[in-house]
Amino acid sequence: DAGITQSPRHKVTETGTPVTLRCHQTENHRYMYWYRQDPGHGLRLIHYSYGVKDTDKGEVSDGYSVSRSKTEDFLLTLESATSSQTSVYFCAISGSGNNEKLFFGSGTQLSVL
């Protein structure tokens, strides 16, 4: 398995609170991604990064922000969590070629009450 660590693995929080999820990689891969997985929707891209301080929005970016200050770390922040953001969040990494496969982390189960 690729060296990807997501933290925390599980989190329960209340509506309106800020939440930060962390993805750490040891593979020195250029690209990092945040997806959310919901029943009936598959995986949807939230944000991705193509280098340090280089990020772009995905298809469901509203309510989320990201930061990448180091190659190995990609943070996802929910500024003010809502119940609709209850989901499983997966971090993924890949090399530079766009036909390269993604390596996924183990996921973070987030519940917003």
Contact set with another protein (CB under 8 A): 31, 33, 35, 40-45, 48, 50, 56, 58-59, 90, 92, 94, 96-102, 104-107
Distance separating alpha carbons of residues 51 and 66, to the nearest angstrom: 12
Closest CA to 100 of 50, 36, 47, 26: 50
What is the closest distance, in whole angstroms, from the C-beta atom of residue 69 to another protein in the complex? Answer: 20
| Edge-first strand listing for the sheet containing 19-25 | 4-7, 19-25, 73-78, 64-70
What is the closest distance, in whole angstroms, from the C-beta atom of residue 64 to another protein in the complex? Answer: 15
What is the closest distance, in whole angstroms, from the C-beta atom of residue 62 to another protein in the complex? Answer: 16
Closest CA to 63 of 90, 83, 40: 83
Task: Considering the complex, state which of residue 4 and residue 17 has its C-beta at the smaller distance from another protein.
Answer: 4
The 10 Å Cβ neighbour count of residue 85 is 20
What is the closest distance, in whole angstroms, from the C-beta atom of residue 107 to another protein in the complex? Answer: 6
Task: Considering the complex, state which of residue 14 and residue 50 has its C-beta at the smaller distance from another protein.
Answer: 50
